[in-house]
Amino acid sequence: MTQTRAPMQDEERIARRAALELRPGMLVNLGIGLPTLVPQFLPADVDVLFHSENGFVGMGPALEDGTPDHDIIDAGGRACTIIKGGAFFDSLLSFAIVRGGHLDLAVLGAFEVSIKGDLANWKIPGRLTPGMGGGMELAQKANQVLVVTRHLDKKGRPKIVRECSLPLTARHCVDTVITERAVFRRRDGALALISVHPDHTIDSVLEGIEVPMRVIEPLQSWDQPPESPEGVGA
């Protein structure tokens, strides 16, 4: 949310496409990293409320000028703002919002996503152990989970796998994955390819993914927003 550096080309493409998933009236939580790039690509007329799990709803952008207020920080620890109509609370109430089913959408990063929608994003044993923070609750309890991630990991392997090899954040939780190459949605319990970026083909999207994947044709155009799910914003 408070990200100010210019996003790299792939990240910007992912964030722009992800912004289409945010619909008016939604309450949305953004994970650390790439997810924080999404709001800058929201059309001005899309009224979305952001939840920051450290204790408020109504998170606004970082101040462009002036003195930052360090009593208002996002979950990544950066100073941000609160909009008119926002509200502060403590950690208990913050997670009652999440576990109680009030959070419409969580936008999260990923190390791996399995074809069944399992998510691993909190630990690479022996190497990187940031901890799960609020990620398990967000992944398990948000009404929808959107993963935004580079298509390939640093070794060039697709992030979408048959089974996650890393410790899980939650099972069967991911509804949508957006990469710089494609959009995947979980249909009948498995991720399916629904849209391909114009720079890519079905083959270049599926290359290296070691599990059969359903392709839902005709593919949707890259900038086609999702159908409004029932109940969102109600």
Partner 1 sequence: MIDRTVPIDAAVSRFIRSGSVIMVGGFGRGGVPFTILEHLADHADAFADLTLIKNDASEPHLGIGPLLRAGMVKKLIATHIGLNPEFIGQMNRGEVECELVPQGIFAERIRAGGAGIPALLTDIGVDTEAAAGKPSVRLDGETYLVERALRGDVALVCADRVDRTGNAWWRGSNRNMCVVMATACARVIVEGKQIVEAGAIQPEDVQLPGVFVDAVVQAQPRRHMRTEAPA
Among 12, 40, 42, 123, binds partner 1 (CB under 8 A): 123
Among 2, 3, 36, 52, binds partner 1 (CB under 8 A): 52
Distances (CA, A) of 37 to 131, 140, 206, 214, 222: 22, 23, 26, 29, 18
| The one catalytic residue among 11, 12, 21, 53 | 53
Residue type, 57: V
Among 58, 61, 133, 226, binds partner 1 (CB under 8 A): 133
Distance CA 234, CA 232 (A): 5
| Number of helices (H), then strands (E), in the chain | 4, 13
Among 64, 65, 90, 227, binds partner 1 (CB under 8 A): 90
Tokens of 222: 């890259």
Q: Does 98 bind partner 1 (CB under 8 A)?
A: yes
Distance CA 105, CA 141 (A): 9
Binding mask 60-79 for partner 1 (x = CB under 8 A): --------xxxxxx-xxx--
Among 82, 152, 213, 215, binds partner 1 (CB under 8 A): 82
| Contact (CB, 8 A) for 40 and 60 | no
Nearest CA among 174, 156, 178, 157 for reference residue 10: 178
Whether 53 sits among the annotated catalytic residues: the reply is yes
| Contact (CB, 8 A) for 179 and 151 | yes
Distance CA 92, CA 182 (A): 37
Among 16, 134, 151, 183, binds partner 1 (CB under 8 A): 134
Distance CA 21, CA 145 (A): 11
Instruction: Give the nearer residue to partner 1 in terms of CB position, either 40 or 81.
Output: 81
Q: How far is the CB of 128 from partner 1 (least distance, A)?
A: 8
Q: Does 124 bind partner 1 (CB under 8 A)?
A: no
Alpha helices (runs of H) in the chain, residue ranges in sequence order: 9-19, 91-99, 135-141, 202-206
Q: Does 140 bind partner 1 (CB under 8 A)?
A: yes
Binding mask 189-228 for partner 1 (x = CB under 8 A): ----------------------------------------
Residue ranges that bind partner 1, judged by CB under 8 A: 52-56, 68-73, 75-77, 82, 88-92, 94-96, 98-99, 123, 126, 128-137, 140-141, 167-171
List residues with catalytic annotation: 53
